[in-house]
Amino acid sequence: MKVLLVSPGYDKQEGLGAWGYRNFRYPLIQHVSEVIDFDSMEQSNKYGRSGMEANLFHTIANTNPDILIHARMDNELQPRLLADLRDDFPITTIGYLSDPLKATCFEYGTIGLYDICINSSFTMCDNAQKVGFTNTFYLPHLPAQSFIHQTNDTQKDYDVVFIGNRSEYRAKILQMMIQSGIKLNIFGMGWHEDLSLTPYIQGYKIHEKQMEIIGKSKIILDLAWDPEDQTEPEFSARFIQACSAKAFVLSPENEKKKELFGEASNKISYTNIEDLITKVTFYLNNSQQRNQTAEFLHQTIRTSFNTEERWCQLLKQISEAIPDHKKKVSIPERKNLFTNTSHKNKITIICRVYNCEKYIDECIQSILNQTFQDFELFILDDGSTDNTAKIIQKYHHDPKVRYHYQENIGADLNHFDTLIKTSLELTDSEYVLFIDSDDIMLPEKIEKQVQVFNHDPSVDICFTDAYMMEEDNIQLHQKRSDFYPISFNSKNILRNFFLVNPIVFPTVMMKRSSIEKMGGFQTGFASDYDFWLRSAKFLNYYYLDEPLTVYRQHAESSSHKCNTSFKVQECQQIKTDIFHSYTILDFYPELLEHDQRSSDDLANAYFDLGTSILKDPQVSENLVFEIYNLCLKHQPNHTPCLNNYIIMAASCNHEALFSTILSTFKNTQAICSYPPFQSIIDKNKEILKNVHTINDLNIKELKTCMVNGSYVNHFLNKFESALSI
């Protein structure tokens, strides 16, 4: 059974699609012969709806799947397209309706666009069958067992925990709980908007860390759905996840819970916010009842929600419901993804090549001449049309070298993530290194990096310095670190990586398990930088301060061939997405060490972050404005921010922004007494004294009044001693 899964990122283990990966895609791949991923959201963002639809039909033609499953997010696939797939193609189309808050998902006309539907709400599924849609089947939110970690933690570090992204409804509930005196810990994205919740926000955590937190929490809040919404699913993914981990969880009341848990349902369900607050207060003070209830929930969920049994039943239902005019499918034996945990090779060097006849021989020789010889060289040829394959052929006799050819997909420089993913799927080593076909490894590179991993097994990624080379002019005295000095620690790693990409990809050696933990490489051209930013807080990075790679830059290299504006746009988008994925406390974890952090402290952090990234010549002004706005939201009279804001508005010719902020800046007294900043601000105020519009300004003179990025050292040093500026 070959399945084409059209979804909003269900192939990614972390990020927006991670929920779908754990609850749907991972169990699916254990029961079918092959899953082909098609990210409808990513495709739409890159190519628009029409481009996404064209690529979908191209994928169907090239892969010939038996079944297409559409994990419906919204109306991303138009009704006419779904109807065409249903009526004119031999593949069976299945709609997976997992989000019942989107009413469009449950209009019966929508269900009728598919051959078969899967629904996460038992009630909605039952109603659909009653009105004639008999090919509608129930699949509750069931995380695969490998993602459930049963907790035996007796030490509870957190009282009440909510894990999830921000919504207006959730914010309202949490604010009311805080007002009632309940101590909360909030983990998730988007919470920087709520000033009243600031002291309780702990930042974003990947799934592995979330499960650790669940194990160390007295009470988990399930606020996934509005209790007043009649289309809510009976059991949310968070509820089942927490119960399976033997954690105590409070969730909205519904009839299905009463049916399953009987009288115990009253203990773990709330009818309104007042009831929730009452139950939280009670269970915080009654640990024995809390633990007994958690044990009961755990045993009931284990008995009633067996992931393996439910998926076997679902696939049997699907097989029997396939229309007569569609291709019939057989259900293969379930695959055990963990039967082979050993690796054939300890180390694989992945070399992606495309029309590189000029440099590939030198690259391969540098790899084969390593002082450490226990490795495999895997060469992925992305459709070369020159003599590249012929040159590589002379190494076919070497057992270390493995060659794989495919039709080109990377010519538009927008599929590097796919090339990396393909290479990883075709290899199985414990450690991987990456090198481009025009780069050179110095003889001791692998040996010295292996020593790092042997010395400290906790290291996930080891990267080194690199010599920079232009064309054939070897200038080995120029190192990457001469241009971008590298310094970071566990606290500042995210913000330092956010300011500039410190890592030359061909210098990296990393654990395969670490790549898998973060959901692999994503996005298009700048997939490496995206990975460093997503993983900076969660993986252990080690910098070996020695140039062990020669990084060649020339007119035919992918980084030079790529359109500059495209590169800038993609890097700006990556930074914007990363900023939205975290909170300011993720960028400045120093603030988490102090319970008494104030709005001024957070305003200073926002200001420093915005000001620091201004040093990047490819900076997104819109992102800086957004960050400065958050600074002013926490402290409206933050004079250094007002100072820089008005200079940026003038430099970008934003007359409306300039006019809005001008009077505020002129009339605001400085809240920062740091003398170097104060003198700059005073100078700026003097320049602006008689200014009313941007046309009245000497922009060059105004730019000399920008408060610079050294603010971070000042504000953090002050913070450590006095917690304010």
Q: Which residue has the tokens 């997992």?
A: 98
What are the residues facing 553 on neighbouring strands? 470
Per-residue pLDDT of 496-522, as tens digits, reads 999 888 899 999 999 999 998 888 887
The reported pLDDT for the residue numbered 337 is 40
Letter for the amino acid at 485?
P
The reported pLDDT for the residue numbered 182 is 94
Kindly tell me if the per-residue pLDDT of 121 is higher than 80: no
- 268 vs 102, residue with greater confidence: 268
Kindly tell me if the per-residue pLDDT of 88 is higher than 90: no
Per-residue pLDDT of 352-385, as tens digits, reads 999 999 999 999 999 999 999 999 999 999 999 9
Within 518-563, residue ranges assigned H as helices are: 527-535, 558-561
Identify the CA nearest to 280 among candidates 252, 250, 246.
Answer: 250
Helix, strand, coil distribution of the chain in percent, nearest 5: 50, 15, 35
The reported pLDDT for the residue numbered 627 is 94
Among 4-13, 39-48, 228-237, 656-665, which stretch is predicted with the lowest mean pLDDT? 228-237
Kindly tell me if the per-residue pLDDT of 721 is higher than 80: no
pLDDT band at 413 (very low <50, low <70, confident <90, very high): low
Kindly tell me if the per-residue pLDDT of 341 is higher than 50: no
- 83 vs 440, residue with greater confidence: 440
Query: Token pair for residue 198?
Result: 């600031």
The reported pLDDT for the residue numbered 716 is 44
- 98 vs 407, residue with greater confidence: 407
Q: Go through the chain and tell me how many residues it has.
A: 725
Query: Token pair for residue 649?
Result: 């508005």
Q: How far is CA 58 from CA 52, 64, 65, 217, 523, in A?
A: 10, 10, 12, 48, 20
Are 446 and 494 a contacting pair, CB within 8 Å?
Answer: no
Letter for the amino acid at 301?
I
Are 90 and 66 a contacting pair, CB within 8 Å?
Answer: no
Cβ-Cβ contacts under 8 Å for 582 (sequence gap 6 or more)? 189, 203, 204, 494, 537
Query: Token pair for residue 236?
Result: 């949310």
Of all residues in the chain, what percent carry a pLDDT higher than 70?
85
Q: Which of 338-352, 485-499, 518-532 has the highest mean pLDDT?
A: 485-499
Helix, strand or coil, per DSSP, at residue 442: coil
- Angle of helix 621-634 relative to helix 599-612, nearest 10 degrees, comes to 170
Of all residues in the chain, what percent carry a pLDDT higher than 90?
31
Within 38-167, residue ranges assigned H as helices are: 40-63, 79-88, 108-111, 122-130
Q: Distance from CA of residue 483 to its chain's centroid? A: 29
Per-residue pLDDT of 29-46, as tens digits, reads 888 888 899 988 888 887
Q: Which residue has the tokens 């002291």?
A: 199
The reported pLDDT for the residue numbered 339 is 37
pLDDT band at 723 (very low <50, low <70, confident <90, very high): very low
Q: What is the mean pLDDT of residues 602-606?
A: 89
Kindly tell me if the per-residue pLDDT of 55 is higher than 80: yes
Query: Token pair for residue 544?
Result: 């070996």
The reported pLDDT for the residue numbered 431 is 96
User: CB burial class (10 A; 0-12, 13-18, 19+) of residue 199?
Assistant: middle
Are 176 and 152 a contacting pair, CB within 8 Å?
Answer: no
Tally Cβ neighbours within 10 Å of residue 142.
25
Q: Which residue has the tokens 């060097």?
A: 349
- 55 vs 126, residue with greater confidence: 55
User: Quick one: DSSP state of residue 328?
Assistant: P
Are 651 and 603 a contacting pair, CB within 8 Å?
Answer: no
Round to whole Å and give the CA distance between 599 and 695.
35
Q: What is the mean pLDDT of residues 663-689?
A: 73
The reported pLDDT for the residue numbered 207 is 80
- State which H helix or E strand residue 409 sits in: none
pLDDT band at 144 (very low <50, low <70, confident <90, very high): low
- Angle of helix 527-535 relative to helix 416-425, nearest 10 degrees, comes to 70
pLDDT band at 147 (very low <50, low <70, confident <90, very high): low
The reported pLDDT for the residue numbered 333 is 62
Q: What is the mean pLDDT of residues 177-184?
A: 93
> Global pTM?
0.78
Q: What is the mean pLDDT of residues 259-264?
A: 83
* Phi-psi domain of 582 (left: phi exceeds 0; alpha: psi -120 through 50; beta: other): beta
Per-residue pLDDT of 423-457, as tens digits, reads 988 998 999 999 999 999 999 999 999 999 999 99
The reported pLDDT for the residue numbered 625 is 92
pLDDT band at 338 (very low <50, low <70, confident <90, very high): very low
- Angle of helix 639-651 relative to helix 621-634, nearest 10 degrees, comes to 150
Handedness of CA 229, 234, 239, 243 (dihedral sign): positive
Q: What is the dihedral of CA 252, 253, 254, 258, to 10 degrees?
A: 130
Phi, psi values for residue 433, rounded to 5°: -125, 155
Identify the CA nearest to 72 among candidates 100, 109, 51.
Answer: 100
The DSSP secondary structure of 609-634, one letter per residue, reads HHHHGGGSTT--HHHHHHHHHHHHHH
Are 366 and 474 a contacting pair, CB within 8 Å?
Answer: no
Q: What is the mean pLDDT of residues 253-273?
A: 84
Q: What is the mean pLDDT of residues 50-79?
A: 87
Per-residue pLDDT of 546-600, as tens digits, reads 999 999 875 555 554 445 666 778 888 889 988 988 888 889 988 877 766 778 8
